[in-house]
Amino acid sequence: MLIHVVDVSGSEGRDPSQDFDNINKELRNYSEKLASKPMIVAANKIDMAEDMDDYYILKLLLQPLVENALYHGIKYKRGGGMIRVSGRMEGDMLFFTVSDTGRGMDAETLAALREHIAEKQQTQMAGMNGFGLLNVNLRIRLYYNQKNGLRIESGPEGTAVSFCVPRRTREEIENDQSLSG
């Protein structure tokens, strides 16, 4: 008996670099999105180290974090608030933080969210769903083969979500056989 296996995922012959974007391109997209919300976002700041211009990160890592800061952090805060996206490079790693000056979370809610993400639960929690954060956390862990993904801090002054990934140029991504499926 002859069995044919067909790859229906579309990954064969696929350029792995399509899953990555230049950091500056990603940041321009978020800056434009935030600028279109002047009634909610009183200010937004992008604080990215200049030496990060040539590096790429997995698409859709920062966007869900910016959207969470917007919709869960400052949307309902009287007078709006500020969202800050920052990045720096240390050695072979890129560090990113998305923070807001929103309502923040109480200790119990923060602990439940951290547990939800750590346990990879895909069930809803009371008052929040966390799917965007869960997805980003899992993608960081899987694509970059890391034990930890997101780090979340929160209090009455707002929330900060951070992560780090290895720095990669477009050429390194294109030549990385482990990403080609």
CATH number for the domain including 88?
A: 3.30.565.10
Domain count, the chain: 1
pLDDT at 50 (0 to 100): 80
Residue 44 lies in a domain: yes
Question: What pLDDT does residue 116 have?
Answer: 86
Whether 128 maps to a domain, the answer reads: yes
172 and 166 in contact (C-beta within 8 Å)? no
User: pTM for the complete prediction?
Assistant: 0.80
Q: Which of 17, 108, 34 is nearest to 68 (CA)?
A: 34
Is 2 contained in some domain? no
> Is residue 109 assigned to a domain?
yes
State the Cα–Cα distance between residues 23 and 46, nearest whole angstrom. Answer: 12
Residue pLDDT tens, the chain, 181 long: 444 333 434 455 556 568 888 887 777 666 666 666 655 555 677 788 888 888 999 988 998 898 888 888 888 777 778 888 899 999 999 999 999 999 899 999 999 999 888 876 444 444 445 578 999 999 999 999 998 899 999 999 999 999 999 999 989 988 875 654 4
3-class DSSP assignment, residue 103? coil
The reply to whether 63 falls in a domain is: yes
13 in a structural domain: no
* Residue 92 within a domain: yes
Q: What is the C-alpha separation between 57 and 32, in angstroms, rounded?
A: 19
DSSP H helical ranges for the chain: 23-35, 62-68, 107-118, 131-143, 170-175
Would residue 144 count as lying in a domain?
A: yes
> What residue numbers bound the domain in which 123 lies?
20-173
